[in-house]
Structure 1
Amino acid sequence: MKTKNYFILLMMVLVGGLAFSACSNDDDDYVRMPTAYVNFVNAYAGADALGIKLDNNSVDRGYSLKYGDYIPYDYGRAYPGTRRFSAGIPNTTTAIVDSTINLRDSATYTSFVYGYQDTVSSILVEDKDAANFDASKAYIRFFNLSENTPAVKVNLIQNNTPTAVFNDRPIDNQTSAATNAGFIATNEGSYTIQVTDMNGTQLAIRNEAAALNAGRYYTILTRGINGNAQKPIVVGIFQH
């Protein structure tokens, strides 16, 4: 899975440092540590931020993950196996999510916390490269994580022309998210992303154009609450 360009230098430094210490005595002594990689996404509209933990370890380096933000793979390294995953509102003692997740060595995942107040949910999906990958295409997928929302469709708008890329998508749960975790190919370009109900009524639009670059992977999502002025439905997108 390809990560954002501005993390490449960090990865080179980290890998270089590990290689240096491993090779200082004997190249054959190096043993790779089993590692899984996880994006953590805060789409929970019930608070301004969340604390995220695996087992008893903070994955956000002790800082709260703001609503709408995410921790990318480079920082979300984890030991493989069955891990306790929890999320809580800062300055409280009760977790709003407390579950277990299974991580495989060398696999990459995205974890989402979403909902509002008592409807909090979480999903975990494995992020896999597309079959029959075409380097001339951009790759996208979509999750509907907004509250009080009907089934939706997603349009990419370019030159005032909408193209439906996802259709009839109700609010996701773990089962549907796993089904929808694959990336689909689309033409590279700069797009406005619109979300409508099945009758074509607009529910949300991302006015800032999103650049979908060839050979890259993107997750599009909705978060927020339909009809709520304080936490309205928002269209989010991030690159893997």
Structure 2
Amino acid sequence: MNIKNYLVLLVTMLTGGLAFQACNTDSDPVYMPTAYVNFVNAYAGADALGIMLDNNNINTATGGQPLEYGKYIGYLPAYPGSRLLSAGIPGTNTTVVDSTITLEDSTFYTSFFYGHQDTVSSILVADKTPEDYDQSNAYVRFFHLSENTPEVNVNLINSGTPTEVFSNRAIDDQASAEANADFTAVDEGSYTIQVTDTDGTELALRDEVIALNAGKYYTILTRGIIDTTQTPLVVGVFQHQ
């Protein structure tokens, strides 16, 4: 992927061994195979998650603190290959996700944790530049990660005018997330984001305006539980850095 058009000579070592440097006898940097992963916490069953990749705590990127619900960590470098991914509830022995993922060299990914209590899931998708990429457009995609929610539509609202961008989206699993991982071109602009059921009834509205900038990539998601007050259905969005 060339979302940021940067790869891949690493000259520093991250705590926990997610990435490393190697030098030849002349002290010139040596190319090391590397993947890059975003981590997103949409799991409504806890205030935060402790996330491990193999035996490495990725929360070193948050100053050692668990990743709070609704937050994300930007791309971290990681060794390619088969990796053990797990997430647990801080301060307990409870592991909510324990899975194996496969990372490829020179590839960018986003890892999502979502669900509530016993219905915990994780998905991993590759973040790829569209073949018809046009730097004059912004690019968005959507994942439906909220609990007990019907199929939804997603509207971008600009100056009071809604434009439906995604339709009839059921709650995602790994297969549907992979099928919906491509980014869709939209006009650059400032938007609020509305989620409705398939009849057009509003389920959630992100009324904080977000600027979708030309040439940039954004993931929109639902998280939380419909018809609850503690962790209600909300619309999240983040820019891929």
Tell whether the structures are fold-level matches, with TM greater than 0.5.
yes
Q: Which residue of 1 aligns with 2:55?
A: 56
* Aligned equivalents of 1:180, 1:36: Cα separation in 2: 21
Q: How many residues align?
A: 227
**Structure 2: runs of 5 or more not aligned:** 14-20
1:39 corresponds to which letter in structure 2?
A: N
Counterpart contact for 2:10–2:32, Cα < 8 Å: no
Question: In the TM superposition, what whole-angstrom CA distance separates every residue of 1:30-53 from its partner, at most 9, and x where no partner exists?
Answer: 311211100000000000000000
Question: In the TM superposition, what whole-angstrom CA distance separates every residue of 1:69-98 from its partner, at most 9, and x where no partner exists?
Answer: 00100xx21111000000001011131000
Question: In the TM superposition, what whole-angstrom CA distance separates every residue of 1:105-137 from its partner, at most 9, and x where no partner exists?
Answer: 110000000000000000000000011110100
Q: Which residue of 2 aligns with 1:200?
A: 200
Q: Which residue of 1 aligns with 2:108?
A: 108
2:214 corresponds to which letter in structure 1?
A: A
Deviation at 1:23, TM superposition (A): 8.3
2:42 corresponds to which letter in structure 1?
A: A
* Aligned equivalents of 2:97, 2:153: Cα separation in 1: 28
1:20-169 equivalent positions in 2, closer than 5 A: 26=26, 29-61=28-60, 62-73=64-75, 76-169=76-169
1:157 corresponds to which letter in structure 2?
A: I
Q: TM-score, length-normalised on structure 2?
A: 0.89
**Structure 1: runs of 5 or more not aligned:** none
Deviation at 1:15, TM superposition (A): 5.7
Deviation at 1:22, TM superposition (A): 7.6
* Aligned equivalents of 1:58, 1:47: Cα separation in 2: 18
Choose 148-157 or 87-96, whichever is displaced more.
Answer: 87-96
Aligned residues with identical type, % of pairs: 64
In proportion to residue count, which structure has more helix?
A: 1
C-alpha change, 1:214 and 1:51, in structure 2 (3 Å) is same
SS of 1:220's partner is strand
Q: TM-score, length-normalised on structure 1?
A: 0.89
* Aligned equivalents of 2:194, 2:86: Cα separation in 1: 32
